[in-house]
Amino acid sequence: MIGFSLFFVILQAKFNIMMDYYELRFKITPVSEEARDIVADIAGQAGCESFIETGDGINGYAQVDMLDKQQLEQELSDFIIPGVDIEYSIEEVEKENWNKTWESNGFEPITVDGKCLIYDAKNSDIDTIPNHEQYPVTVAIDTEMSFGTGNHETTRMIVSALLSSDIVGKRVLDCGCGTGILSIVAAKCGASGIVAYDIDEWSVNNTRHNAEINSVNNIEVLLGNSNVLSHISGMFDIVMANINRNVLLEDMAKFREVMASYGTLILSGFYEYDVDILVKEAESLGLTCDKIREDGDWRCIIFTS
């Protein structure tokens, strides 16, 4: 279990903006870091993707069709810390552009491993970024209600993994593409072709838009969840997914089915205490844990077949 002051991330773990979401409000009396940790772990296993800290507890956010209310109720009924009480409520939140303010303000240029420069296409001109010529890979991102700029640790770790991999001529699958940043990095590192998909129509459109402004024309973008893989022919040398732990566990078998021999699976979007269960699931599918990357409390695992 990690310290909850570091655990909280405001709606950033692959929050698909236009999906239907529940807000779960947990009141913890008396509130403590330990109790927040435990409640977040319980809520995460029941389907919550993201959390924010409140004065008297935490709020969690889960897709309507992903929240297991029965599991949540059962786990919370088993919650035992002497002298600590938990109350919670659930309500559906209105669809809105959660990123609106952040999008209008933009983001500062981000660098990864001294090899990749990611900058805000809407609010920055690359010619005004000092020493931009020194980066072999430059990516412009115009984020519109989608996740993925490089600000988040999970995105940076996968970008770093791509930069250190032999991608030239490889076929790549991007599961939950968001802004398309990972697909674009893969393309600029020499991938022969990329298939990307996302359950959010805004993300699909945003990926196509960002591919265009980066002059990348070998990304096929599909709308849907992992079921779209049944309609895709051929195998993939590299499969990458930056999604929450529950979705990764649910979809990993499908990822495995489309991996080529000696293929690579790159996963992120989860915390240190999620690693063991993800490794166990991967090993049951015949995958080998090759490397675990760390950035703060977040983790990225690279598997090989």
SS3 121: coil
Radius of gyration from C-alpha coordinates of the chain: 19
Enclosing H/E stretch for 292: strand 288-295
Name the amino acid, one letter, at 177. Answer: C
Q: Is 27 exposed, middle or buried (0-12, 13-18, 19+ CB in 10 A)?
A: middle
Contact in structure between 23 and 59 (CB atoms under 8 Å): yes
Alpha-carbon distance 125 to 122, whole Å?
8
Report the predicted TM-score, pTM, of the whole model to 2 decimal places: 0.74
pLDDT at residue 273 in the model: 84
Tell me the backbone φ, ψ of residue 45, rounded to 5 degrees: -70, -25
Pair 240, 212: CB distance under 8 Å: no
What pLDDT is stored for residue 115 in this prediction? 97
Q: Is the dihedral of CA 29, 32, 35, 36 positive or negative?
A: positive
Note the pLDDT of residue 144: 63
Residue 105, judged by CB atoms within 10 A of its CB (0-12, 13-18, 19+), counts as exposed
pLDDT at 124: 80
Residue 274: CA atoms inside 13 Å, Cβ hemisphere, count?
Answer: 25
Give the per-residue pLDDT at 12: 39
Helices 33-46, 245-257: inter-axial angle, 10-degree rounding: 40
Conformation bin of residue 131: beta by default, left when phi > 0, alpha when psi is -120 to 50? left
Q: What is the DSSP letter of 250?
A: H
pLDDT per residue rounded down to tens, the chain (305 residues): 333 333 333 333 344 444 578 899 999 999 988 888 889 889 988 888 777 888 999 998 888 888 999 999 998 988 878 889 999 999 987 655 555 554 556 688 999 999 999 999 887 889 889 999 999 999 999 876 455 667 788 999 999 999 999 999 999 999 999 899 999 999 999 999 999 999 888 889 999 999 999 999 999 999 999 999 999 999 999 999 998 888 899 999 999 999 999 999 999 988 888 999 999 999 999 999 999 999 988 899 999 99
